[in-house]
Amino acid sequence: MLQQKNLWVLLALINTLGLVGFNHLCHAEGEAHRILLDTDVDTDDVFALFYLLKLNRSRFGLEAVTVNTNSWTDAGHGVSQIYDILYMMGRDDVSVGMGGEGGIAEDGRIFPDVGGFLPIVEQGKTTAGGCRYRQAIPAGPRGRLDLDSNYGLRRALLPQGGRKYSPLQQPTAQQVLTEKISAGPITVLITGAHTNIGVFLMNNPHLKNNIEHIYVMGGAVRSDGNLFADLYSNPYAEFNIFADPFAAYQICF
């Protein structure tokens, strides 16, 4: 059910991007619009990445992918899967950054960047506050359901290039965000929790105006929520907002 709902929201996001592209997202003739994707590497996000990579590069240029680590896909598997997709599509030029979980406390304190070397999720810790990404995702007999299928798909079908996840060398999400957003106007697509972008905006308010548009996968009108663990006690919340409501507040309000 979550996959189906997220797919419909994703299709709406893609459709919106396409509809407004000619009116709002296109720069001067001959200049591609710069795009950054922040993702949790769930199955629907993989389709979104393929879609972005198939766009006309003279009009829309994907420059970077940042990962907000969670239980859908562990850090190493998720980043390596993105690297392999980029390799298969001839886009090894796209930067990839590894984010962490729980970057913002309930009182607004910002934790040190935990991406790249040892993300919090790999330490077995939970996010700050009462909302926990891991609690919202069901585990199968062999672990996290999407992780099993996504990682199996990668190993069986995707050609593997030279780039892969290395904890000591992997660029962090904040490093990639700073580099790409500092370079000039860019559009950000968020298809997971908002932690990476929320932390970036709180740490770099002077770069906020470089972000021309932010599109989020974050709910639907007149629709039930899509949580797993707390569906009965909380039938209204949208998964990506629930994962880090404080970060979502920084972005959406």
Structure tokens that stand for 107 in this block: 């009182």
In the 8-state DSSP scheme, what is residue 22? Answer: I
Rounded average pLDDT over 48-70: 91
Taking the CA atoms of residue 140, residue 142, residue 148 and residue 152 in that order, the dihedral angle to the nearest 10 degrees is -150
Q: Which residues of 229-248 are buried (b: 16+ CB within 10 A; e: fewer)?
A: eebeeeeebbbbbbbbbbbb
The string over 144-165, giving b where at least 16 C-beta atoms fall within 10 Å of a residue's C-beta and e elsewhere, is bbbbeebbeebeeeeeeeebeb
Q: From the centroid of its chain, how far is CA 252?
A: 16
DSSP letters, 88-143, are HTT-TTSEEEE--S--B-TTSPBPPP--SS--GGGGTPPPSTT--TGGGS-EETTE
Considering the chain, what is the average pLDDT of its residues?
A: 74
- 63 pLDDT band, cuts 50/70/90, is very high
Residue 12 main-chain phi, psi, to 5 deg: -65, -40
Structure tokens given for 207: 């770069």
pLDDT at position 106 over 60: no
Q: For 205-221, how does the pLDDT look when each residue is reduced to its tens digit (9 = 90+)? A: 999 999 999 999 987 77
Distance CA 171, CA 116 (A): 6
pLDDT, position 80: 84
The answer on pLDDT for 9 being more than 50 is no
